[in-house]
Amino acid sequence: MAEAAPTLLYRFTFLDGAVLEFPVELDPVTFRVRLRPRSSYPAWAKLSFCQCPNCPFTEVERPRCPTAESVLDVVEAFQDRRSFEKALVEIVTPARTTRKQVTLSEGVSALLGALMPTGGCPILGMLRPNVLTHLPFATIDETVFRTLAMYLLAQFFVSQRGGKGDWKLAHIEKFLDDIHVINRHFSERLSSTCLKDANVNAVSRLDVFAYLTDGVARRKGGGLSSLFDDYPAP
């Protein structure tokens, strides 16, 4: 039987008492977001609108950007709000509830961090496994740890399928560079439609975290290595 309740519920309560809720229903097997069908879509959702240069799709295959489709409700809700506005953000999951008073830049960024990897873009989709352990308001250290751990676990499954695992992180820079390209072009896409900056700065915040993760990856784990001193060499 299909799961009826949303996997995640984001609730924004503003200082004036207004409340916005965003249910994020994820397929329990694939962890891809289940979207409501629409009768019409804005022009900025077209694939060709500020299309990323590394996009693997053509308009024949996908007339609309899958990432744009996944965040339409969020973008429309916050397009006339400023990133420095404050709200109490609650994230309700079957396992726990997280609650924090934050700026919209941070709150919307956390929500987009669940939606963008699960929307159907195969490049951002490589971050989709982290949505299984979605951690809103993560610090940079938590983000770096989770991203590198996810990447290395992915290499295990690649090797299990007969491929060659990237155990030395030789290709993670390309992986993160591709993420950066998408974040940058998606910001341009949003800049064309948003009256104010809450959405754009939320994506920029995600990109900063990707950039800092890339810096640690280039140092082959950086200062994280000391955490694993108790692991013996084979």
pLDDT, tens only, 148-176: 899 999 999 999 999 999 998 889 889 98
**pLDDT on residue 234:** 76
In a 13 Å sphere around the CA of 228, the CA atoms on its Cβ side amount to: 10
Which residue range is the domain that position 150 belongs to? 8-228
Q: Is residue 3 part of a domain?
A: no
Q: Is residue 233 part of a domain?
A: no
pLDDT, tens only, 32-88: 999 988 889 999 999 999 999 999 999 999 999 999 999 999 999 998 888 899 999
Q: Is residue 169 part of a domain?
A: yes
| Distance from C-alpha of 13 to C-alpha of 224, rounded to nearest angstrom | 37
Q: What is the mean pLDDT of the chain?
A: 88
- Residue 120 banded pLDDT, cuts 50, 70, 90: very high
Q: Work out how many domains the chain is built from and give that number.
A: 1
Q: Between β-strands 97-103 and 19-24, what pairing exists: parallel, antiparallel or unpaired?
A: unpaired
| Distance from C-alpha of 19 to C-alpha of 87, rounded to nearest angstrom | 9
- Residue 5 banded pLDDT, cuts 50, 70, 90: very low
- Residue 1 banded pLDDT, cuts 50, 70, 90: very low
Q: Is residue 49 part of a domain?
A: yes
Q: Is residue 138 part of a domain?
A: yes
When mean pLDDT is compared across 15-24, 130-139, 202-211, the lowest value belongs to: 202-211
- Residue 219 banded pLDDT, cuts 50, 70, 90: low
Residue with tokens 């397929």: 27
Distance set, CA 10 to CA 59, 173, 183, 201 (Å): 32, 32, 22, 18
Query: What is the reported pTM?
Result: 0.89
Q: Is residue 160 part of a domain?
A: yes
Six-digit token string for 25: 């229903």
Q: Is residue 200 part of a domain?
A: yes
